[in-house]
Chains A and B, each alone.
Chain A
Amino acid sequence: MTALIEIQHLCKRFGASKVVDDLTFQVDRGEVLGFLGPNGAGKSTTMKMVTGFLTPTSGTVCIGGQSITEKPLQSRRQIGYLPEGAPLYADMTPAALLDFVAGIRGLRGETKRQRIADVVSRIQLGDVLNQRIDTLSKGFKRRVGLAQAILHDPQVLILDEPTDGLDPNQKQEVRSLIQEMASDKAIVISTHILEEVEAVCSRALIIANGKLVADGTPQELEARSRYHNAVSLQLSAEQAPLAAARLPQLDWIDSCQTLDNRTLLIFPEGGQSVIRAVAQLATTEGWQVEQIYQQGGKLDDVFRDLTDTAGARS
């Protein structure tokens, strides 16, 4: 079976600048792909091409096996899209807008009424249904945008910064909504909130200057962090300097950093897991361990490393 979203050698030029540069990836049913990258990396531009709004300079996008440029209408029917900034017709009400989109999506009569009611209650839009959209708060506009995207229960969901501007409760709501829908859809979300990636994404893709720089599960990406398997060790104030002097002499330890006068951060050689060895050592040396734990790695750190070096190269 082919993947729901298949992207091959996608490129986009605006004048002389290459904004998206040879992106190739797939998204399968059941996956939630986090699309990451610094401002101006080309995330939104890629999404615009995937949804058929922009024509690629070169490369192909297939949705459910059909090319978006060759079968634009059939492909678009399978996609729900929240564009960047959630543009909406300002002088309409959410009720009228949802009715319009549902109509265009081919929903009729009772089915239409039912679908709109479902989505409205799921996204909690009931209170603002008959208020003009330009008088809604930013978060509510985003929610209306999200509602229109999922109205027809599409197989493919492309959400450009879906939680931007939402309050913490709504952020949580939207994340759980995405997770609920994930099992039978291919979902792509772009975001600048890295915890969100850890919370909802089964896979993350980092791009910088239009190029793919990393692709993997959030855990795999975290493993690339300098902090991956680093051991944080807290001792008494007297023993800490002794340990800080002793530890770097061991060949399985790369370096050791003093965080405050009691806490050391130990970076293992080659990213191996050394927590047991450190604990062992502490016992033999007679150190009073107050706290010891191993870090998973920090996504922000990986993000910074990957996107900074990519920036320096170009």
Chain B
Amino acid sequence: MNTLGIIIKRELAGYFLTPVAYVFIVIFLFLNGIFTFYLGGFFDSGYASLQPFFEFHPFLYLFLMPAVAMRLWAEERKSGTIELLMTLPVSLWQAVVGKFLAAWLFTAVAVALTFPMWITVSYLGDPDHGVIAAGYLGSLLMAGSYLAIGACISAVTKNQVIAFVVSVMICFLLLITGFPSTLEVFTGWMPDLLVETLRSFSFLTHFDAITRGVVEIKDMVFFLSMILFWLYANAVVVELKKAG
């Protein structure tokens, strides 16, 4: 295994060394169930699709992803192990990407455990499997973006609670810029171009497009560049803050 692989393995194992991982997965599945079946009216819709399930993910992830990411760097800095890690022959990008990928893989495991939903709709009706696959893809990409933000913010502070709160706020801002009601506030007095730019920076806009089954390059590029931007910022912050 190469260095990146070893880092991912250690981080991933780190999630499962404490009960936190199991608690997280249970909460994740439980909330998914509640949202989909009760609030989403899964059975009432009359259509065999996972649309109601995916619709809640942006809001579910708003709290769960910062919780997954908050320990990544804050804990290293608080316990001083960052000094151990960053004096090993590990490059900055290997550390940043390794930690992020571990968090993303962990999330992917939790998301994969929702497969009974897919089985249920397939059993009840005849869903469009392409759309469902696109939904999972969109969901993971969005989770990745939230995680990249959370990882970056966790490098700014030694305090995990602060990291969590600040990440939730940033993710929330990036989410609500896509709400019709938010955009309404700006339309009229702001140039249309600016409103459109604001809209295009929203997770919601791109996520909705993908979950409707329209997998377009521009939406994928949006999420991937979001992830890359925040990982780059993460590396810069680690380099700047590791001393203090």
**A residues touching B (Cβ–Cβ < 8 Å)?**
14, 48, 51-54, 72-73, 76-77, 79, 81, 83, 85, 87-92, 96, 100-101, 103-106, 148
Whether B84 lies near A87 (C-beta < 8 A) is yes
Whether B87 lies near A51 (C-beta < 8 A) is yes
B89 at the interface (CB under 8 A from A): yes
Contacts of B3 in A (CB 8 A): 104
**B residues touching A (Cβ–Cβ < 8 Å)?**
1, 3, 6-7, 10, 13-14, 17-18, 79-81, 83-84, 86-91, 242-243
Give the distance to chain B from A280, nearest Cβ to Cβ, in Å: 59
Contacts of B243 in A (CB 8 A): 14, 48, 53-54
Contacts of A51 in B (CB 8 A): 87
A/B interface sample: 22 pairs, CB < 8 A: A48-B83, A52-B86, A53-B83, A53-B86, A53-B87, A53-B243, A72-B91, A73-B89, A76-B87, A83-B84, A87-B79, A87-B80, A88-B84, A89-B14, A91-B14, A91-B17, A91-B18, A92-B10, A96-B10, A100-B6, A101-B88, A103-B1
Contacts of B84 in A (CB 8 A): 81, 83, 87-89, 148
B84's nearest neighbour on chain A, judged by CB, is A87
Task: Knowing that A104-B88, A148-B84 touch, tell me 15 more A-B residue pairs with CB under 8 angstroms.
Answer: A52-B86, A53-B86, A53-B87, A53-B243, A72-B91, A76-B89, A79-B87, A83-B83, A83-B87, A88-B84, A91-B14, A91-B18, A92-B10, A104-B7, A104-B89
Q: In the complex, which of the residues B10, B81, B83, B91 has the most CB atoms of chain A within 10 Å of its own CB atom?
A: B83
Whether A92 lies near B6 (C-beta < 8 A) is no
Q: In the complex, which of the residues B1, B3, B18 has the most CB atoms of chain A within 10 Å of its own CB atom?
A: B3
Whether A96 lies near B79 (C-beta < 8 A) is no
Give the distance in Å from the alpha carbon of A200 to the alpha carbon of B10 in the complex.
Answer: 36
- Cβ-closest 4 pairs across A and B: A87-B80, A103-B6, A83-B83, A51-B87
Whether A52 lies near B80 (C-beta < 8 A) is no
Given contacts A54-B243, A91-B18, A103-B1, contact A83 B80 (CB under 8 A): yes
Give the distance to chain A from B3, nearest Cβ to Cβ, in Å: 6
Whether B13 lies near A88 (C-beta < 8 A) is no
Q: In the complex, which of the residues A79, A104, A105 has the most CB atoms of chain B within 10 Å of its own CB atom?
A: A104
Partner of B6, one of A83, A87, A104: A104
Partner of B81, one of A14, A54, A81, A89: A89
Contacts of A83 in B (CB 8 A): 80, 83-84, 87
Contacts of B81 in A (CB 8 A): 87-89
Contacts of A88 in B (CB 8 A): 81, 84
Give the distance to chain A from B154, nearest Cβ to Cβ, in Å: 16
Whether A100 lies near B87 (C-beta < 8 A) is no
Partner of B89, one of A85, A89, A92, A105: A105
Whether B242 lies near A96 (C-beta < 8 A) is no
Partner of A85, one of B17, B80, B87, B88: B80
Give the distance to chain A from B62, nearest Cβ to Cβ, in Å: 27
Give the distance to chain A from B172, nearest Cβ to Cβ, in Å: 30
Give the distance in Å from the alpha carbon of A105 to the alpha carbon of B87 in the complex.
Answer: 11
Give the distance to chain A from B115, nearest Cβ to Cβ, in Å: 29
Contacts of B242 in A (CB 8 A): 53-54
Give the distance in Å from the alpha carbon of A106 to the alpha carbon of B243 in the complex.
Answer: 26
Give the distance in Å from the alpha carbon of A30 to the alpha carbon of B85 in the complex.
Answer: 27
A106's nearest neighbour on chain B, judged by CB, is B89
Give the distance in Å from the alpha carbon of A77 to the alpha carbon of B17 in the complex.
Answer: 29
Contacts of A48 in B (CB 8 A): 83, 243
Give the distance in Å from the alpha carbon of A148 to the alpha carbon of B1 in the complex.
Answer: 19
Contacts of A105 in B (CB 8 A): 88-89
A50's nearest neighbour on chain B, judged by CB, is B87
Whether B79 lies near A90 (C-beta < 8 A) is yes
Give the distance to chain B from A37, nearest Cβ to Cβ, in Å: 19
B239's nearest neighbour on chain A, judged by CB, is A55
Contacts of B14 in A (CB 8 A): 89, 91-92
Whether A76 lies near B88 (C-beta < 8 A) is yes
Whether B17 lies near A92 (C-beta < 8 A) is yes
Contacts of A91 in B (CB 8 A): 14, 17-18
